[in-house]
Amino acid sequence: MRILTSGEFINETKDSSPSESNDIKLDSTVLEVIKHVRKEKDAALMQYTEQFDDVKLTNLLVSEAEFREARELVEEDFITALTQATENIKEFHLAQKEQSWFMEKENGVLLGQKVTPLEKVGVYIPGGKAAYPSSVLMDVIPARVAGVNKIVITTPPQSNGKINPYVLVAAEEVGVDTIYKVGGAQAIAALAYGTETIKKVDKIVGPGNAFVARAKKWVYGDVAIDMIAGPSEICVVADETAPPSYVAADLLSQAEHDESASAICVTTTKEIAKNIKNEIERQMEKLERKDIIKKSLEQNGSIIIANNLLDAFDIVNEIAPEHLQLMIQNPTDYISSVKHAGAIFLGNYSPEPLGDYFAGPNHTLPTNGTARFASPLGVYDFVKRSSIIRYSQDALLLATDQITKIARTEGLTAHANSIKIRKDYPHASCENK
């Protein structure tokens, strides 16, 4: 974990465009996978599962017996925790629910917006380096609240060829019984284009590693996607009121996801920075995923010393982190200083894992700077809107001249005619001539 000044950090970000050769390599792997799945379908899925996950499968669909077995394996207190988390997540997302609306105007004019749930959604649940039952709740509950009926899950199999039992139990909790044992870019391609076993969906949602995130980017347009939710990121702004042991623990919590996860702390003095670094080193030794954490901190970890809080927020907004923790005095007063962040956690008792599992807001969030323009996954991701327009004959007659003027200006006389014919022949017969 390196310590650097805000000036050094800004210079570094200016100089470093994302490594083009890595980017090209990722694109070429992912595009090859997509092409092969479109052509060979299930056979390609099985081939890639063997190649990348080291598992030989004969069937991609989780069976009823596997669900039953999972239920027997998980502990009762996991179910209790899951049920409470489900309730919190549902309550939060119900507040996001959007209704259709209509406005009645003069002369029998009715305008409005009809909100319709998507029909078929595919949820990607990551499963390479860890299993994510919590992501099942986060990604399926808003879809259910929106009214989506057909929800399927894809997730990579464990080395024994089965799906993690906690993931299966979480899926049951939210009423999903179609789960495919496929991960990575190949799963995204299957959901986007369909195979013999996996039916094409209307939208793909859910987080994943770099291969998954890039594949979603490539299939976008043929299918909708939620956002680019790639490797996890945390940024903590800490002043002298933040216990270094808490800051260190929170940074480590996200570094353990993936070698490409990022953990950044922005603080205001050299002394705080040193204390946090020491705490990180002390706590890291006791953690199970030390190897992943070490690599992640080496590659993407930093403690930045800002000149003051104003400078600190400039850095935060430059990073546009997925998760931002404000561990400073009166954090609520600084919400307006944050322009770009997926989720903002306030104070010393709102650590990021609280949001990962329990508080209620969604943990599927935009990463890699995309919080500049993207939002957390929400009920709004699972609906679409249709406009409603109804004019009466009187209302159309009143508007005819203005509409035809605009149509003719655009040179579109058939458009003008469609309006004018109703003025010229106000009571046209419905009988065929």
Ligand X SMILES: NC(=O)c1ccc[n+]([C@@H]2O[C@H](COP(=O)([O-])OP(=O)(O)OC[C@H]3O[C@@H](n4cnc5c(N)ncnc54)[C@H](O)[C@@H]3O)[C@@H](O)[C@H]2O)c1
Ligand Y SMILES: N[C@H](CO)Cc1c[nH]c[nH+]1
Report in angstroms the alpha-carbon separations of 12 from 2, 15, 20, 112: 13, 5, 16, 50
- Judged by CB under 6 A, does residue 112 bind ligand X? no
Indicate which single residue of 9, 92, 132, 345 sits in contact with ligand Y (rule: CB under 6 A): 132
Q: Which does 52 bind (CB under 5 to 8 A by kind): Zn ion, ligand Y, ligand X, none?
A: ligand X
- Judged by CB under 6 A, does residue 261 bind ligand X? yes
Smallest distance from ligand X to CB 182, Å: 8
Three-state secondary structure call for residue 280: helix
Given phi > 0 = left and psi -120 to 50 = alpha, else beta, which region is 243? beta
356 is in an annotated binding site: yes
Indicate which single residue of 6, 195, 232, 348 sits in contact with ligand X (rule: CB under 6 A): 232
Q: Which does 128 bind (CB under 5 to 8 A by kind): Zn ion, ligand X, ligand Y, none?
A: ligand X
Indicate which single residue of 232, 268, 275, 348 sits in contact with ligand Y (rule: CB under 6 A): 232
- Judged by CB under 6 A, does residue 135 bind ligand Y? yes
* Residues within window 36-95 making contact with ligand Y, judged by CB under 6 A: none
Sequence length of the chain is 433
The string of DSSP letters for 304-344 reads EE-SSHHHHHHHHHHH--SEEEEESSSGGGGGGG--S-SEE
Q: Which residue is nearest to Zn ion (CB)?
A: 356
Smallest distance from Zn ion to CB 232, Å: 5
* Residues within window 266-325 making contact with ligand X, judged by CB under 6 A: 322
Smallest distance from ligand X to CB 208, Å: 3
Q: Which does 325 bind (CB under 5 to 8 A by kind): ligand X, Zn ion, ligand Y, none?
A: none
CB closer to ligand X, 145 vs 377: 377
Among the listed residues 72, 48, 73, the one whose alpha carbon sits nearest the alpha carbon of residue 60:
48
Indicate which single residue of 144, 356, 381, 382 sits in contact with Zn ion (rule: CB under 5 A): 356
Q: How far apart are CA 101 and CA 300, in angstroms?
A: 46
**Structure tokens, 430:** 């419905």
For 182, residues 6+ apart whose C-beta sits below 8 A from its C-beta are 45, 49, 60, 154, 155, 156, 190, 198
Element (H, E) at 388: strand 383-390
For 376, residues 6+ apart whose C-beta sits below 8 A from its C-beta are 342, 343, 361, 362, 364, 365, 366
Q: What are the catalytic residues?
A: 322-323
CB closer to ligand X, 131 vs 273: 131
Pairing outcome for strands 383-390 and 110-117 = antiparallel
Residue 303 and residue 267 in contact, taking contact as beta carbons nearer than 8 Å: yes
| Contact string 344-363 vs ligand Y (x = CB under 6 A) | ------------x------x
- Judged by CB under 6 A, does residue 134 bind ligand Y? yes
Contact residues for ligand Y, defined by CB under 6 A: 132, 134-135, 232, 254, 322, 356, 363
